[in-house]
Amino acid sequence: MVNVAIMGHGVVGSGVAEILIHHKERIDNSVKDDVNVKYILDLRDFENLSYSDKFVKDFNIILNDGDVQIVAEAMGGINPAYDFVKKCLQAGKSVVTSNKELVAAKGAELIRIAKEKNVNFLFEASVGGGIPVLRPICQCLAANEITEISGILNGTTNFILNKMIVDNMDFDSALRLAQELGYAEKDPTADIEGHDACRKICILATLAFGKHVYPESVYTEGITAITLGDVEAADTLGYVIKLIAHTEKLNNGKIKASVRPTLVSRGSIISGVDGVFNAVLVNGDQTGEVMFYGKGAGKEATASAVVADIMDCAKHLKARKYLFWEEAEENYVDSSDNEFGKFYVSLKSNDYGKMKNSFSEILMDNEMSFVENKYQNTISLITQPISKKDLLNKLENFEDCEIKVLHTMC
């Protein structure tokens, strides 16, 4: 028998409990053992469940029960999850979690403890919900050197942008709709400001490149500044706007990492990722581009990924998975923003005539395509390939204009 404790009985935790209990036969058959939910930790009372007898309110009951070999952390946030997970690992229990905030902030320390104690610390559900991403990157692409990862990692912002693109809905209305449908929290900051996507790209970069990437080191820009005008101009220019998380290995041993609204060419497969769906594009030196796609959130999907990790732990109680990475040196994430590529530039001015003249003189040298919106006094364009530094230098000539610069990808 393998005994499991679940910490937290919210959306994910209750999903984990339901799958483990309602699909017990299927799971036991696959694991070839009796996978038993022994405890569920929650401060609240859950009296009318078929498994109400399993609830405990004291974490120490789980910690001190030597029969509990696997703990699923589904509380969310750093505290007390960090303290509890650390103590469980130190006590020789394997831990699985969907908590991206915890893994992004404390993963390096926790994986080190797991290694010392020869137990597993798995977190497939922390990126892409139920989409298999982390295990394929670590195992199936093991013979590759991963060079770059780009992803749509936050379903809420993708839903909002999609509503703006397809239904011409403004940002505020789309956000309200997302909240009504349960896709966005009452306080949507973590989603719309890009923090959630940032934690996930940190985890991906950490696993792909082998050194821990902390959220504070990643340039993060949300979607709150994107207007319907941007969405329409992008459409005319052949692009859709997506919140893209990106990381890339540099030749000097450092990496780049960012989260920012990005114009994605309509020809690319990732431009077709709509609604609450997520997608992760991985570039390997041998496989080329590989994409993983699916619903990135939701109770059942996320819970099923946690359960798959529990099953993996149950099958490998004595054979630790080869998952490990190190702390990075200082300035491992290159924070300079001097990229080379095509950029989206939007210029807005009350003196539209003057702006248009300067625009022709200064920016039209390379026959770029552009969109005029005389009603909103805006010119939007995609530049030819140019260094961002050179572009920003040129844009200094438009001192009276409101200027927006966004990155693009093919």
Active site residues: 200
Q: Which of residues 203-242 bind its own copies (CB under 8 A)?
A: none
Structure tokens at 306: 């946690």
Least distance in Å: CB of 269 to its own copies? Answer: 5
Three-state SS sequence of the chain = CEEEEEECCCHHHHHHHHHHHHCHHHHHHHHCCCEEEEEEECCCCCCCCCCHHHEECCHHHHHCCCCEEEEEECCCCCCCHHHHHHHHHHCCCEEEECCHHHHHHHHHHHHHHHHHHCCCEECHHHCCCCCCCHHHHHHHCCCCCEEEEEEECCHHHHHHHHHHHHHCCCHHHHHHHHHHCCCCCCCCHHHHCCHHHHHHHHHHHHHHHCECCCHHHCEECCCCCCCHHHHHHHHHHCEEEEEEEEEEECCCCCEEEEEEEEEEECCCHHHHCCCCEEEEEEEECCCEEEEEEEECCCHHHHHHHHHHHHHHHHHCCCCCCCCCCECCCCCCECCCCCCEECEEEEEECCCHHHHHHHHHHHHHHHCCEEEEECCCCEEEEECCCEEHHHHHHHHCCCCCCEEEEEEEEC
Candidates 48, 79, 251, 286; binder of its own copies (CB under 8 A) is: 286
Nearer to its own copies, 84 or 277 (CB): 277
Nearer to its own copies, 23 or 57 (CB): 23
Candidates 136, 227, 334, 403; binder of its own copies (CB under 8 A) is: 136
Least distance in Å: CB of 238 to its own copies? Answer: 15
Interface with its own copies, residue 311, by CB under 8 A: yes
Interface with its own copies, residue 181, by CB under 8 A: no
Interface with its own copies, residue 300, by CB under 8 A: yes
Interface with its own copies, residue 269, by CB under 8 A: yes
Interface with its own copies, residue 71, by CB under 8 A: no
Q: Give the total of residues touching its own copies (CB under 8 A).
A: 52
- How far apart CA 79 and CA 68 sit, in angstroms, is 22
Interface with its own copies, residue 135, by CB under 8 A: yes
Structure tokens at 50: 């078929």
Least distance in Å: CB of 189 to its own copies? Answer: 27
Q: Which stretch binds its own copies (CB under 8 A): 48-56, 93-101, 123-131, 219-227?
A: 123-131
Interface with its own copies, residue 34, by CB under 8 A: no
Site string for its own copies, 1-20 (x = CB under 8 A): ------------------x-
Nearer to its own copies, 286 or 366 (CB): 286
Least distance in Å: CB of 131 to its own copies? Answer: 5
Interface with its own copies, residue 307, by CB under 8 A: yes
Interface with its own copies, residue 155, by CB under 8 A: no
Least distance in Å: CB of 20 to its own copies? Answer: 9
Interface with its own copies, residue 316, by CB under 8 A: yes
By the criterion CB under 8 A, which residues form the site for its own copies? 19, 23, 26-27, 30-32, 124, 129-132, 135-136, 139-145, 269, 271-273, 277, 284-295, 298, 300-301, 303-305, 307-308, 311-312, 315-316, 319, 322
